[in-house]
Structure 1
Amino acid sequence: MMFTRTPIEGAWLVDPEPLADERGFFARTACVDAFADHGLNGRFVQQSISRNTRAGILRGMHLQYEPAGEDKLVRVTTGAIFDAILDLRPYSPSYRQWFSVELTAQNQRALYIPRGVAHGFQTLTDLSEVFYQMTVPFAPAHSGGVRWDDPEIGIAWPPCQNRLISAKDMALPSLTALSAY
């Protein structure tokens, strides 16, 4: 695996290093020791998928607050997404900064998202599936986030004529209204 730092403190792009032959290829996508070598938690205790039926679906910006903060590894197994993260950790040198990357089934890239960093995505193709690996179980009482379109954040989402967003995500607070993290 190849690890590449992002501008968000503690967030990394993780690319497989395929061993290929005439049959196809084999590649590791997670390894506790390789993650530890980069100071990352690679012990994923819960895995989930998000299946999205069409292009233009937007989910986010979500995170789990302490004491249930989670690290996540996100990859696309079908289709393509514009993936965005936002650092909500006041102590972080990248506080209030965002980063985006295109994750696709073709590029097989994953994004490691540390605790305290919100995550969201917009599907770029019909039928996109996102695979999540988390270091702690989902804790609904600690689930929250911030509005995807908050002008104070300014994430440059891809243009979309027919964006679909849940009522729950539309009701997330702005960064200013967000209570102390």
Structure 2
Amino acid sequence: MAPPSIRPTAIAGLLEIRSAPHVDARGFFLNAWRAEEWQSCWGERPLHQLNLSRTERVGALRGLHTQLGPTPEAKLVRCLRGRVWDVAVDLRSGSPTWGQWQALELTPELANAWLIPEGCLHGFQVLEPGSELLYLHSAPYRPEDQLGVRWDDPQLAIAWPLPPVDLSPRDQQLPLLAQLPDLQP
């Protein structure tokens, strides 16, 4: 099986990773994680947590979230079912792309994943009903280190593809970036 291809983005460390599944009459087999092949992009980060989310409704939006503090986390996000529009926002102090966002459509057919580095917000919008995402996390979940920013923050001006629906109460209450002075460049 061919190693995954890695495509950098305008945000340093934010990578699209595409795998080549082996397809036959039975379906397909995809090597979704092999440490030797992924070392070049994942580095020495540990794998602390594996999460699965399912979102039923088209237009549903989750995010924007990150974990900072003493245990910042990187995420590797892959769509197992359906189709999502996935967004990452650079909030790393001193980064030349601070406050900029990148988006990528994740689908099982593309067999792609999104490596979101530490210090970047993450969110997504569902484009097909019943979409499922698998997340690998480099740090254990710590509620006290969680941070979020509103999906419709005018400073970020993210161009979501659909009118958002089904926002969680938590996501509806997130602050604007301007309300978080510790996160300014």
TM range (shorter): over 0.9
Give yes or no for contact 2:21–2:111 (8 Å, CA) kept in 1.
no
Q: Which structure 2 residues correspond to residues 113-152 of structure 1 after superposition, within 5 A?
A: 113-152=116-155
Query: Aligned partners of 1:97 and 1:166: how far apart in 2?
Result: 24
Query: Aligned partners of 1:81 and 1:119: how far apart in 2?
Result: 13
Give the aligned partner of residue 93 of structure 1: 96
Higher helix share: 2
Q: Which structure 2 residues correspond to residues 1-181 of structure 1 after superposition, within 5 A?
A: 1-38=4-41, 40-41=43-44, 43-160=46-163, 163-181=165-183
Give yes or no for contact 2:72–2:118 (8 Å, CA) kept in 1.
yes
Give the deviation of 1:91 after TM superposition: 1.7
Query: Aligned partners of 1:60 and 1:38: how far apart in 2?
Result: 24
Give the deviation of 1:39 after TM superposition: 6.0
Q: Which amino acid aligns with 1:180?
A: D
CA RMSD for the aligned pairs? Answer: 1.6
Query: Aligned partners of 2:94 and 2:167: how far apart in 1?
Result: 30
Q: Which amino acid aligns with 1:176?
A: A
Give the deviation of 1:40 after TM superposition: 3.3
SS where residue 180 of structure 1 aligns? helix
Q: Which amino acid aligns with 2:36?
A: D
Give the deviation of 1:159 after TM superposition: 2.4
Query: Aligned partners of 1:9 and 1:129: how far apart in 2?
Result: 27
Cα deviation 1:65-88 (Å, max 9, x = unaligned): 121200100011111111011000
Q: Which amino acid aligns with 2:158?
A: I
Q: Which amino acid aligns with 2:83?
A: A
Identity %: 38
SS where residue 102 of structure 2 aligns? strand
Q: Which amino acid aligns with 1:105?
A: P
Query: Aligned partners of 1:179 and 1:33: how far apart in 2?
Result: 40
